[in-house]
Amino acid sequence: MDNKKCIGIFSLLILMLLASFALASLAGGSELKAQDAAYYLFHPNSSGIERDIIWKIRLPRVILGMLVGAGLASCGAVFQGLLRNPLAEPYTLGVSGGAALGVSLGVMFGIGGIYIPVFAFCGSALSILLVYSIACRKRFSNPTLILGGVILSFLFSSLVFFIFSVSRAEDVHGIILWLMGDLSSTSAPLIKIISFFILPAIVLLFFFSRDINILTLGDEKAFHLGVNSRQVKKIIFIIASFITGACVAASGIIGFVGLIVPHFMRKIVGVNHRLLLPASVLAGAVFLVLCDAAARVIIRPLELPVGVITGILGGVFFLSFLLKAKHWDIF
């Protein structure tokens, strides 16, 4: 891809990010008019309920959406490249099951509330690392890894249902709400903590993008080109598990972003991870923020969980793309 086209695409992505930021902070469930919202957006020192809606509810939510979208999309791109498998993404690697189990355990033992994100983080990060270590024993063949993830997911969801069946109905309801994934339970400290995890980790991943390119040629060729496959894969896996864990902790389970965003961006910027990774980060942020805005306005004044929107929008969009494409190379 030549430089001009590349600069064009990235400028467009950045513009879209700004546009979706504006759109999402102006649109919402309350009766607040867009002009007023814009006024308060540019006058943070004013006072009143409207100002608080913008600065304490909408903006944190938009920022969190961007962080989580960027994190999930970058992890998806990395896992697909590393495992040379188009199905790889945090959720096919057993993350959702792990997170659900972590949260359910927490709720069952009555340690819910503000500790839920901690349980979610531990559950999801640990399940990815568990899948990884299962696959390591089998000398890390890539199909094993996906298989391990799928099996672990089943195992975890069975355990979750077991916990459901012995818990009180209110607890179960709480867990299910959390599992559907939404960005509304945002607090400023949580966002600070999450961005502290996600942003540096994404930057770090970027510095491994050349390694990921080479690892797509298989472990042996990568070794011949000077990549210490085992060690590098382990490092990348740990970083990506961290990002995933942080995303899940902040927003529950939001599927599909990690799967489809990298596939779309591959069609646009190509397969070089030095471009694909930043492009997926930007596109993931745009996608999730727009989905969340839609979730807030579709059945106003009620709200849909954003996971429902990403699932429906993403699934339909992706399928139609898949059916329209003349010939579909997975990568």
Partner 1 sequence: MEILKVDNLSCGYEDNIVVDDVSFSVKAGDFLGIIGPNGAGKTTLFRAISRILKPRQGNIFYKGRDVGCISTRDFAQEVAVIPQILEVPFAFSVEEFVLMGRFPHVDRFEALKKADYAILENVLDFTDSAPLRKRKINELSGGERQRVILAQGFAQKPHLLLLDEPTAHLDIAHQAHILDLLKRLNKETNLTVIIVLHDLNLASSYCDRLILLGGGRIFKEGAPQDVLTYQNIEEVYKTVVVVRENPISRKPYVILVSEEERKIKEKKCKKGQD
**Sites of contact with partner 1 (CB under 8 A):** 1, 81, 84, 207-208, 210, 213-214, 216-218, 220-221, 223-228, 270-272, 329-331
Cβ contacts of 227-235, under 8 Å, gap ≥ 24: 230/140, 232/208, 233/82, 233/140, 234/132, 235/208
| SS3 annotation, 203-242 | HHHHCCHHHHHHHCCCHHHHHHCCCCHHHHHHHHHHHHHH
- Minimum Å distance from CB 40 to partner 1? 42
What's the longest Cα–Cα distance across the chain? 64
319 Cβ contact list (under 8 Å, min separation 6): none
Phi, psi for residue 295 in degrees, rounded to 5: -60, -30
Q: Which amino acid is at 177?
A: L
CA distance 138 to 204: 28
User: Residues 180, 184, 189, 195: what is their CA dihedral angle, to the nearest 10 degrees?
Assistant: 70
What token pair was written down for 311? 């699932």
Residue closer to partner 1 (CB basis): 163 or 212: 212
137 Cβ contact list (under 8 Å, min separation 6): none
Residue closer to partner 1 (CB basis): 180 or 230: 230
CA distance 68 to 120: 14
- Minimum Å distance from CB 141 to partner 1? 13
User: Terminal CA-to-CA distance of the chain, rounded, Å?
Assistant: 16
Residue closer to partner 1 (CB basis): 227 or 248: 227
- Minimum Å distance from CB 236 to partner 1? 12
Residue closer to partner 1 (CB basis): 105 or 225: 225
Residue closer to partner 1 (CB basis): 61 or 266: 266
Residue closer to partner 1 (CB basis): 153 or 213: 213
- Minimum Å distance from CB 24 to partner 1? 33
- Minimum Å distance from CB 135 to partner 1? 18
- Minimum Å distance from CB 270 to partner 1? 7
- Minimum Å distance from CB 212 to partner 1? 10
What token pair was written down for 266? 């591959």
Residue closer to partner 1 (CB basis): 46 or 228: 228
Closest C-alpha among 74, 87, 55 to residue 246: 74
Question: What 8-state DSSP symbol labels residue 57?
Answer: I
- Minimum Å distance from CB 307 to partner 1? 29
Residue closer to partner 1 (CB basis): 298 or 330: 330
Q: Are 13 and 282 in contact (CB under 8 A)?
A: yes
CA distance 93 to 130: 10
